[in-house]
Amino acid sequence: MEKQVAIVACKQTKHASQSELTRERMLYELVQALLKDVGITRDDIDTFIVSSNDFHDGRTISNVFTLPRIGAYMKDETKVEMDGANACLYGVMRILSGQYETALLIGHSLGGSEFRTQLVQWWMFDPVYERQVGLMNELSATALQANAYMMKYNIGERELAEAAAKNLRNAAKNPNALQKKSDAAAEDVLGSRPLYSPLHQLHCYPPTDGACAVLLSSEKKAKKLTDKPVWVRGVGQCVESYYLGERELYRSESARLAAGRAYSMAGIKKPSKEIAVAEITAPFAHQEWIIAEALDLFEEGSGAAVVRDGASEIDGAMPVNPSGGALGAHPFNASGLIRITEAVNQLRGEAGEMQVKEPKTAVVHGQDGICAQSNTVIVLSI
């Protein structure tokens, strides 16, 4: 990119199945803490972008009630009804326009305590056929996706369980994660409640209350706000058909195209060699394989080998989700921003027990829709 956009600061909540705070109080405390860390006030923010969803919030024009709590009253503000990675994409475009110097991105959800996730996610299906038949839901559709990948590449249930266990162990090192187990093994995953074959409870994200805020700025402004800027080097986004019958579920073409655009912008030629760490939004264990392969971090169909070789472990050849990813916590609309926050912590050397050795470049991924219909990819570096 000709102009530079920096991530100046990030802040996330400690995620929970049921927050002790109301949505409004949670957002107020989160944003106040971030502004205090940077040493600015709401007057220093040029535009606010909220990632939320009326279905998730259970009320129409839901951001009306949260804007005053984040300091966006009487300020330029807008809303993205998708994952927080899309809010970042939008914020980058706004700063690149030259009309804004700073953008505060906020994503939030009370998916653990305020609504039944499957009832809400059902509304993402094709309304003409799939929704009317009534046979599908988020879990059953995702089970079809898992089966498609496993059958295509002859992968067994144990390997899938080991992939989930890896993220549960990583999440145990993450103080903000909800679902975690320091000694997780395949047996724990396979012993958890069976859902739709081959999925068990621990293959899947936990319903989560949580929020995340990320502050973007222009290059000129970043130098005044932080001595540790993380630069957005490339962005890409792509959406494919939300009718499952028109997609090859064992792979993600939209994630591949989004990654190609982000890598081209960032000047990345060989992702598996040039990327040091990846934070991928994978609410289900098998999706980490599918998305990582679409991002060209591993060869197609190599999920079992990646698990066997430990390639995606924190100390592996290509660490993926050292934070535990969405299996550790998945507050809708905030997950993409959480992935950005975890990647920023890695690049700054502030990831604690999750720290990868001296990373310089990271790739971040966010998704929306059934079986990762919409994908956003962001390349970050220091």
DSSP 76-124: -EEEESS-HHHHHHHHHHHHHTTS-SEEEEEEEEETTTTS-HHHHHGGG
Q: What is the pLDDT of residue 98?
A: 93
Q: What is the pLDDT of residue 270?
A: 96
Kindly report the pTM of this predicted structure. Answer: 0.96
Burial class from Cβ neighbours inside 10 Å (0-12, 13-18, 19+) for residue 185 reads middle
What strands lie across the sheet with 209-218, from one edge to the other?
A: 77-80, 47-51, 102-110, 209-218, 5-12, 230-239, 374-381, 361-368, 277-280
Phi, psi at 114, each rounded to 5° = -105, -15
Q: What is the pLDDT of residue 217?
A: 97
Tokens of 382: 């220091």
Phi, psi at 138, each rounded to 5° = -55, -40
Tokens of 141: 């559709």
What letter would DSSP give residue 179?
S
Q: What is the pLDDT of residue 245?
A: 82
What pLDDT digit, counting tens, does each position of 298-333 carry? 999 999 999 999 999 999 999 999 999 999 999 999
Q: What is the pLDDT of residue 80?
A: 92
CB atoms within 10 A of CB 309: 12
| 3-class secondary-structure state, position 68 | helix
Burial class from Cβ neighbours inside 10 Å (0-12, 13-18, 19+) for residue 353 reads exposed
Pairing of strands 230-239, 374-381: antiparallel
What is the sign of the dihedral through the CA atoms of 357, 363, 364 and 369?
Answer: negative
Phi, psi at 288, each rounded to 5° = -60, -40
Phi, psi at 78, each rounded to 5° = -155, 175
| Contact between residue 364 and residue 381 where contact means Cβ atoms under 8 Å apart | no
How far apart are the C-alpha atoms of 67 and 78, rounded to whole Å? 10
How far apart are the C-alpha atoms of 102 and 219, rounded to whole Å? 10
| 3-class secondary-structure state, position 284 | strand
How far apart are the C-alpha atoms of 65 and 96, rounded to whole Å? 29
Q: What is the pLDDT of residue 133?
A: 77
What letter would DSSP give residue 246?
G
Listing DSSP states for 286-347 in one string gives HHHHHHHHHTTSS-TT-HHHHHHHTTTSTTSSS-B-TT-HHHH-B-TTTHHHHHHHHHHHHH
Host H or E run for residue 256: helix 253-266
Low-confidence ranges of the chain (pLDDT < 70): 1-2
Q: What is the pLDDT of residue 53?
A: 86
Mean pLDDT of the chain, nearest integer: 94
How far apart are the C-alpha atoms of 230 and 380, rounded to whole Å? 7
